[in-house]
Amino acid sequence: MDPARNTGRCLCGSVRYEVSGPAASLCYCHCDSCRRAAGAPMVAWGTFARSAFRVTRGQLSEHRSSAPVLRGFCASCGGALTYQHDARPTEIDVTLASLDAPAALAPRMHVWVAEKLPWLVISDGLPQFTASSGAAAGP
Ligand SMILES: [Zn+2]
Ligand SMILES: [Zn+2]
């Protein structure tokens, strides 16, 4: 198996995707938008080249959560899968938890910590950014 090629899917399996190449960034995003989109206290993202991402089954439904942000999800089960920001047209962020082998790619930092929920305590020693690190999911 090619370690640089990752596959993933939504909860119901209607949407499957494939993404290749190294992740440019791996992070936990604590922003309010990611939280609401996923229904979770934070979301783990991996940033890849947009040209290296393709949907291999079904169709990605899209929702513009703010003017520059397009979020991709499964219309059947609601699983959050992708994030695209107009300021980063060559990149796409993929939810690490939707990968078929999520253990292989671990987040390396926390972003948008200014919006973090107070009851979520970060104790992993990873770098923390108040807002975006420059290449990370955010509102
Ligand atoms: Zn689904
Ligand atoms: Zn976010």
The reported pLDDT for the residue numbered 1 is 45
CA separation for the pair 35, 115 (Å, rounded) = 10
CA separation for the pair 113, 19 (Å, rounded) = 27
Ligand 2 center from residue 1 Cα (angstroms): 31
Ligand 2 center from residue 90 Cα (angstroms): 18
Ligand 2 center from residue 49 Cα (angstroms): 18
The reported pLDDT for the residue numbered 4 is 81
> Backbone dihedral region of 114: left (phi > 0), alpha (psi from -120 to 50 degrees) or beta?
alpha
Nearest ligand, measured from the Cα of 131 = 2
Tens of each residue's pLDDT in the chain, 139 residues: 455 889 999 999 999 999 998 999 999 999 999 999 999 999 999 999 999 999 999 999 999 999 999 999 999 999 999 999 999 999 999 999 999 999 999 999 999 999 999 999 999 999 999 998 765 566 6
Ligand 2 center from residue 59 Cα (angstroms): 23
Give the tokens for residue 107. 């987040």
The separation between CA 7 and the C-alpha centre of its own chain, rounded to angstroms, equals 14
Beta bridge partners of 43: 29
